[in-house]
Structure 1
């Protein structure tokens, strides 16, 4: 029984950082990079917009690729639930295989 172990991942997914109507810009990625660098070496930061099913609600999220899994875990633990620009951030480690274009070594 029990919960299967989570797959190790260097990818941190940050949701609810900005209002989708405002979109994301280079400044957002720069702020995220400098904040995440406190937890380890950051390789890539990308802000992406995803349209919900049936065209409902666009969501902007930020994907951060760390040099190692431990850094991603530290950042997720520290940033989940933090407030950014009046919005509560949801942070989680995400499967690397979901982001093959970011994780090629």
Structure 2
């Protein structure tokens, strides 16, 4: 399916909360080293599972409202949404196996 898509404060509700399939959101910032390490892993998962799960990246510098509304207190943060609700959340860089396990739980 390709790499993860961008999501913003303006379209978060539509793309994430109203999605009819599970969604993984990667909250990141350009100054965050672990975020840069996690980015390619998210893109790999999006390539492999993008037909079953929506993958989005949210730049917290450009979009401060959504992280504040969703209790994102550190970066990177990964949240998995099902039916508009957070069902899993991870703070800090996670190995691919952990993220894969989290999304496979909801397929």
In terms of fraction of residues, the more helix-rich structure is 2
TM-score, normalization: structure 1? 0.28
In terms of fraction of residues, the more strand-rich structure is 1
Q: In terms of Rg, which structure is larger?
A: 1
